[in-house]
Amino acid sequence: MIEAIRRFPARPLTPKEKAVVAEWLAAAGDIALAYVSGRQDDDPLLRNRIVVLTEADGPPAHLIHAPLGRNIWMVFSRGGGKATRIRRYRNLRGALNAIRPVLVETRATDLPDAARQV
């Protein structure tokens, strides 16, 4: 997973995107922990990414981010072995719902231009 992550640097999340992550985590009851890594002391490989742990003491099961300069969301998932699965999504809700489908999808045509990125 580390090599794949290094190829796609992440941009910081907006406050609206962080609110979507909080909404998702509140609804996804079986997720042990999810957070947006952004502190200076955080691992540079995780910075500006959404880190999802499905087991309280386990390693990250999923990393989600929007790569710098791209209009997509990427989900890196740790497989049963060493393989990493990489999937792309048009919006953050779709990326989060790929892990646990608990958020209602909104149609981009129903939103003002500024909200279409979330």
Question: Does residue 118 lie within any of the structural domains?
Answer: no
pLDDT for 83 equals 78
Q: Is 114 domain-assigned?
A: no
Q: Tell me whether residue 59 is in a domain.
A: yes
Count of domains in the chain?
A: 1
Domain contains 117: no
Contact status, residue 35 vs residue 51, Cβ threshold 8 Å: yes
Classify the C-alpha dihedral 38-11-115-95 as positive or negative: negative
CA distance 27 to 85: 24
**Residue range of the domain that includes 82:** 2-105
How far is the C-alpha of 78 from the C-alpha of 91, rounded, in Å?
21
Do 76 and 67 touch, CB atoms closer than 8 A? no
Run of H or E residues at 16: helix 15-27
Q: Which sign, positive or negative, has the C-alpha torsion 111, 28, 51, 60?
A: negative
Identify whether 42 is part of a domain.
yes
pLDDT tier at 39 (50, 70, 90 boundaries)? confident
CB atoms within 10 A of CB 13: 22
**Does 32 map to a domain?**
yes
Closest C-alpha among 77, 43, 42 to residue 60: 77
Task: Kindly report, residue by residue over 61-96, the tens digit of the pLDDT.
Answer: 999 999 999 999 999 998 766 678 999 999 999 999
Is residue 27 a part of any domain in this protein? yes
Tell whether pTM > 0.85: no
- pLDDT tens by residue, 98-115: 999 999 866 554 444 444
